[in-house]
Amino acid sequence: MIDDGTGLLTIGELARATGLTVRTIRYWSDEGVLTPAARSTGGYRLYDAGSAARLELIRTLRELGLGLTDVRRVLAGERTVAQVAAAHVSALDAQILPQRGDPQLKVTRAVLSSVARRGASAEETTLMNKLARLSAAERGRILEEFVDEMFHGLRAADPVIRERMRATVVDLPDDPTPEQVDAWVELAELLQDPGFRAQMRKAAEFNAADRGPEVPAGASLWFARRLVQLGARAREGGIAPDSPQAAEVLRELLGDADPAQVLERLTSHANDQVARYRELLGIVNGHGPAAAHREEFAWVVAALEARTDG
């Protein structure tokens, strides 16, 4: 930053801040897609803080294969990112076949299709492009950090659940569909959301608190499966959550457990975000959205609420 109180950057400082080369920045400036904010007394180009964000968008659009004409139109506000993305998808289709399915072209096409369908903003497009191009190891690190935070220090957590979470993979293929790109972007944002992490941590703490020498490994998974079975049977039988028949279903599920405590556990982690997490993993990994059993969980929660202060 030049020492004149303006906060302006030289082209070299801007290059270091963005990771781009001075040559690339100078070329884009010469082509009119990155206008300097001012000139120094010696005639050198100077850039302001907004230039870094503008450069990030330019880099993203160029990585997605857009020509400088389209980049200029987006930066000038003449066309949206989604509009140029939609137009470029058909052009990419003509390239992919002769290139024998180049994986990078397929990723580019999937991102552009997703941008066009979602009407994504410039910021969203940059994020989607970055996330879609992460390596398998980089995707794995995002999930690993999430699981580590969820179970950190909880020695009594159910080992079956812990290992199942650690074994989870995000297997985005080399040629993802637009739906898989959408799902991965949403999943990555969810995994890094502090609120979601706090919810999952609370669920892990509940699980650890229930663990004792008499509680077999995998008991929580057994309970979840049993809940889904009984909840589905009750719904199919038309049993209302506040009916006497529902009380019998709960007794079969809970035994002598405290309904209020079970309700607290279910509402702490059996929520829409956790269900969405399972669905997104299934889509990204190419299995389709995993069954979240939202209706079955909702029925059991409603039945418990009808019999507690919840």
Distance set, CA 271 to CA 45, 219, 293 (Å): 53, 20, 11
**What does the pLDDT read at residue 219?**
61
User: What number of other Cβ atoms are within 10 A of residue 110's Cβ?
Assistant: 25
Decide: 64 and 88 in contact? Cβ < 8 Å: yes
CA angle 12, 71, 58 (to 5 degrees): 35
94-133 pLDDT per residue, tens: 665 544 556 777 888 889 998 998 888 888 899 899 988 8
**What does the pLDDT read at residue 102?**
66
**Stated pTM of the model:** 0.73
Give the CATH architecture of domain 1-58: Orthogonal Bundle (1.10)
Decide: 131 and 83 in contact? Cβ < 8 Å: no
HEC states along 13-76? HHHHHHCCCHHHHHHHHHCCCCCCCEECCCCCEEECHHHHHHHHHHHHHHHCCCCHHHHHHHHC
What three-state secondary structure class fits 214? coil
Q: What is the dihedral of CA 250, 251, 256, 260, to 10 degrees?
A: 20
**What does the pLDDT read at residue 98?**
46
Tell me, rounded to whole angstroms, the distance of Cα 249 from its chain centroid: 36
Ranges of the chain whose pLDDT falls below 50: 1-3, 5, 98-99
Joined tokens for residue 123:
């910021």
- For the chain, the domains span 1-58, 64-133, 138-305
